[in-house]
Amino acid sequence: MSFAELFPIQFLSGAEWQAIIPLLIMSLSSVLALLFSPLHDKGRLVSFTTLTAGSVLALLALVFMVPDAPVPVLGGILIIDRLSQIFSALTVSAGLAAAFMTLGYDQREKIHAEVYSLIAFAVAGMMILVSTRDLMVLFIGLELMSLAVYVLVSMRRQAAMAAEAGLKYFLLGGVASAILLYGVSLLYGSTGSLKFDVIGQGLSRLWQTGTPMLPVAGLVMVAIGFLFKVGAVPFHVWIPDVYTGASTPVTGFMISGVKAAAIGALLRFSADVFALPGLLMVGGSFYWILWAIIAFTLLFGALVGLRQSSLKRMLAYSTIAHTGYVLLGFLALIVGQKEGAADAIVSYTLFYVVMNLGGFAVLTLLSPEGSDEPSLQDLAGLGQRRPYLAFALSLFLLSMAGIPPTAGFFGKYYLFMSAMSAGELGLTILAVLGSVISAAFYLRPLVYMYMRPADETSVSEPRWFGSSAVVGLAAVLTLVMGLIPSWFSSLMK
Amino acid sequence: MNQLLSWMIFLPAVGAALILLLPNARVAKPLGILISAVVAVMGVMLWFNFDPEALGPQFVIKQPWLPAMGVSFEVALDGLNLPLVVFTALLTPLAFLGTWSLPANATDTLQKRMTALVLLMECGALGTFLSQDLFLFYVFWEVILIPAYLLIGMYGGADRVKTTLQFFIYTFAGSLLMLVGIAWLIYAQKSTTGEFSASMIELQNLRFAFDPQAGWGGILSAQGLLFAAFAAAFFVKSPLVPFHAWLPSTYTQAPTLVTIYLAAILSKMGTYGILKILLPLFPDAARAFGPTLMWLAAIGIVYGALLAIVQKNLKTAIAYSSLSHVSYILLGLFSLTPSGMNGALLQMVNHGIAISGLFLLVGHLEKSRGSLELAAFGGLAKTTPLLATSFMVMVLSSVALPGTNGFVGEFMVLVSSFRVDSGATILAATGMVLGAVYMLNLYQKTMFGGASQDAPAGAVWADLSVKEIVVMAALSAAVVGIGVAPQGYLARSKVAIEATVKHISPETVEPDQSGRVSNF
């Protein structure tokens, strides 16, 4: 028996190597950052630099080495194409922003230097997650990301909330992963493959002969796994506590990076499997279940967000509402509006990541020492005290509310448009209703910043460089994307 | 001339940014006036260079903006928006000048922010009026909301936060429904012609299913739903009863400068939207619902007038009077006749002039008295003759005395609506009587009689300052000028209005009658 038969290692071609360079860079820098972090005194700085350098290199590679045609790596375990490049770039940027936001904050809250390597590991997991069309690799990417994030959530050792949040996220996330994995096994059992497209073809064949329970149960379980990660009602229960308990930069990272990765993976899976023409007919009620999930997600996030007095918690609930908008795009995709809906989802994710990173960078700067949870009251008089910071936060909030000329407006418009083209008038009206309700709570911080005088007791906010840089960049992007959105859309074509 | 419209829209926005970045707050207001005066000069140039005979938009600028969606930066002047554009451009510097020293506790940052935000509102208003692209129209329509929200919330009266939130939620809800409608229209355009387009003129060719026999059930057809979506936005902003709940408190709580802008210009965005978009795009629904809407407008006239009569607060009373007067505009629009709509368009500007003058004077009184309770006034005609005189001119314009601009507009509206629905018109005409009652009543209580018992002993009533005199003189000149010679004004909109009416109801155009009335 020869060596090659004993160890069937496939060798990568030049094009394949080139395609996975960004992923390799991220993986390498995550390991290096981990190795450097215990360095006495300098560990923090060195691992931060490693992560930043790695992220920047990966971003450059992603931007300048776009393959003309999709490159399948190792027989399709990974697919590097336009979509994976865009979502990888988004997640790398989210990781980079999270690292910058952690700068300064980590020293005050006594967070270990390993935080940077964990961010890098999570980003590497996200990149795998969005570049695969193989369920097993998808699961590996998902777990690589999730395990790193579980630790990130509970890293703020001073706070009891953080440990609780980490445990909650770990337990629930574990259950969700298990359900997803079970679904994967059912799909594998009924179609004999783990590849998205083969599963899709297999399912189409099966549906011609009736409604087989096994693959449908598998699909439902996979869907639950995804819905958990994007935080749709009723799989949202972990969101408020976990997002509040985690340290603010980590929350920002989860809200932007983790969610973008989950949306990217879901988009790939939907294009191949969920958007099969027969699926909505199977069982008949599939469509209405999805419809109800979207409707509840849209309204729940808005209604509960209205009652929050903590800014972080408010934004946590608001992300549930945003999930509702994205799912609106997915419904359009599944109903058959493939092109428009996919574009709308990608654009919205981009805009969403930018405005949330900006928002959470502001929150990081506002977070009071010890509690880490700025209340609305803390914002009083911010318009006088820190006019530029207040302006940036207003911009992000208005963008989330969907008011032109900000990025969020176009994101929302694209999704409305795709929903309308799929004939979903009812859900669009519900989305409008949700928007109006959430506008009420997006405006409340503005009331405090500009219309209430500052407290006597209010302390001045820290002026960390990293978070300020993220705020500035995100604010500029939010405005520019709102003024020339076509430029960003053309980037994605 | 070619880029003039872009300059008009964006100069205020650039100026606003500049003012916010200024280190010296003292020059904020003079700079604001200077910028808006430049815009006003451009407006005047447009007025005289506009060709009244030409059909179709003039000074067109069209740049692709979101090509994938068929959206472009398309602005142009036509007979429908010309009066409003020029009016907005002229009013803004006057409003600045008239409220120069307001509010009394003005700090430096306040002057800066207020000036900048009002300039942003001017940018939004001019952009809304000039847009020929539906999507662009929406963007400008929303742009104006944030400065208005902030201005009321930061510098309004005691109840400002609640008021401003209510104002925002009402208008935002309406706007979002309009956004859904816009998405629908653009998509419908794509499925009909194969090309995305948001150009208002191209969208006018779309025809949506509508069953005129179904009565109110017609609202559930495609055209009915679209009509409702756009109507939600326009009726809230105008406002039409019963979409007016935000109005009284907002007008009362807002600082004078903002109240002027809200009453004179923002409300016209709603009525203009009806004229430019709602009626031409959904003609079948417009014909079907027009009569009912005329009744709602007539009810609004009487309802606003009755409420104005019983108010104890001067500013609230004028706020309700504004509701009543805007309803005349709506009555004229929903009559769907050339002269009714032309009268309504004239009335949009007339109402703007009168209401600006009234709120300016109210602002002056508020500043010198610190209160606006009617009981706190009396006998001002003796102490402040200039104030009393200019108040009189505005009151006369409001009650539509012949010779003033209000008369021309209201007469055209009532004459043509009478032909369409005599019942609603008779109801509306009682509003004219009620209008005279509350206006003269207000005037009598503030200006005549003895000084109020509530007034502190030895209270000094300041008469108008030089700046205020300039503003009131300009507004009064407009009142009389349009009242005596409205032809030049009406002629500029005639062609566009007739084209619009012809588009809405091709069979009902009566050239001889409409010609006679609109050459009034």
**DSSP H/E element including B71:** strand B71-77
Q: Which of A420, A432, A439 sits opposite B184 (nearest CB)?
A: A420
Of A143, A279, A272, A134, nearest to A193 by C-alpha is A134
Chain A, window 437-466: residues with a beta carbon less than 8 angstroms from a chain B beta carbon: 439-440, 443, 446-447, 450-451
Q: What is the pLDDT of residue B234?
A: 94
Pairing of strands A71-73, A78-80: antiparallel
Contact B66 A417 (CB under 8 A): no
Task: Compute the half-sphere exposure of residue B189: CA atoms within 13 Å on the CB side of its CA.
Answer: 23
Q: Is A53 on the interface with B (CB under 8 A)?
A: no
Q: Which residue of A has its CA nearest to B70?
A: A486
Disruptive mutation site among B110, B146, B186 for chain A (greatest number of A CBs within 10 Å): B146
Q: And the tokens for B38?
A: 């430049």
Query: Please, which residues bridge with residue B327 across strands?
Result: none
Contact A489 B68 (CB under 8 A): yes
Residues 6+ apart with CB under 8 A from A207: A276, A278, A281, A282
User: How far is the alpha carbon of B8 from chain A, nearest alpha carbon, in Å?
Assistant: 18
User: How far is the alpha carbon of A304 from chain B, nearest alpha carbon, in Å?
Assistant: 17
Q: For residue A270, give the DSSP letter.
A: I
Distance between CA B484 and CA B478 in Å, rounded? 10
Q: Which residue of A has its CA nearest to B226?
A: A425
B168 to chain A: which residues are within 8 Å by CB?
439, 443
Res B339 pLDDT > 70: yes
Q: What is the pLDDT of residue B475?
A: 92
Amino acid letter for position B462: A
Query: Please, which residues bridge with residue A71 across strands?
Result: A80
Which residue matches tokens 């009026």?
B129
User: How far is the alpha carbon of B121 from chain A, nearest alpha carbon, in Å?
Assistant: 14
Contact B173 A451 (CB under 8 A): no
Disruptive mutation site among A486, A487, A488, A492 for chain B (greatest number of B CBs within 10 Å): A486
Q: What is the pLDDT of residue A184?
A: 95
Alpha carbon of residue B506 to chain centroid = 28
Disruptive mutation site among A346, A414, A447 for chain B (greatest number of B CBs within 10 Å): A447
* Counts of helices then strands in chain B (DSSP H, E): 23, 2
Low-confidence ranges of chain A (pLDDT < 50): none
ipTM (interface pTM)? 0.89
Q: Which of B145, B154, B176 sits opposite A451 (nearest CB)?
A: B154
Distance between CA A488 and CA B338 in Å, rounded? 45
Q: What is the pLDDT of residue A493?
A: 57
**DSSP H/E element including A327:** helix A311-335
Q: What is the pLDDT of residue B213?
A: 80
Chain A, window 391-410: residues with a beta carbon less than 8 angstroms from a chain B beta carbon: 398, 402-405, 409
Res B516 pLDDT > 60: no
Whether residue B267 contacts residue B330, with contact meaning beta carbons closer than 8 Å, is answered with: no
Instruction: Return mean pLDDT, chain B.
Output: 87
Q: What is the pLDDT of residue A14?
A: 82
**DSSP H/E element including B73:** strand B71-77
Q: Which of B143, B149, B180 sits opposite A429 (nearest CB)?
A: B180
For A31-73, the pLDDT digits (tens) are 999 999 888 778 889 999 999 999 999 999 998 888 888 888 8
Q: What is the pLDDT of residue B517?
A: 39
Q: And the tokens for B126?
A: 């001019």
B67 to chain A: which residues are within 8 Å by CB?
486
Q: What is the pLDDT of residue B219?
A: 84
Total CB pairs under 8 A between chain A and B: 79
Q: Which residue of A has its CA nearest to B196?
A: A417
Q: pTM of the entire structure?
A: 0.92
For B200-214, the pLDDT digits (tens) are 988 888 888 888 787
pLDDT top residue among A36 and B369: A36
User: How far is the alpha carbon of A433 from chain B, nearest alpha carbon, in Å?
Assistant: 7
Whether residue A147 contacts residue A258, with contact meaning beta carbons closer than 8 Å, is answered with: no
Contact B145 A403 (CB under 8 A): yes
For B100-149, the pLDDT digits (tens) are 765 545 566 778 888 899 999 999 999 999 999 999 999 999 999 999 99
DSSP A239-300: HHHHHHHS-HHHHHHIIIIIHHHHHHHHHHHIIIIIT-TTGGGTTTTHHHHHHHHHHHHHHH
| % helix, strand, coil for chain A, step of 5 | 75, 0, 20
Q: How confident is the model at residue B459 (pLDDT cuts 50, 70, 90)?
A: low
Residue count (chain B):
520
Q: Which of helix, strand or coil describes residue B66?
A: strand
A405 to chain B: which residues are within 8 Å by CB?
139, 143
Disruptive mutation site among A385, A412, A420, A441 for chain B (greatest number of B CBs within 10 Å): A420
Contact B161 A436 (CB under 8 A): no
Q: Which residue of B has its CA nearest to A426?
A: B180
Amino acid letter for position A431: A
Res B512 pLDDT > 50: no
Q: What percent of chain B has pLDDT over 70?
A: 94
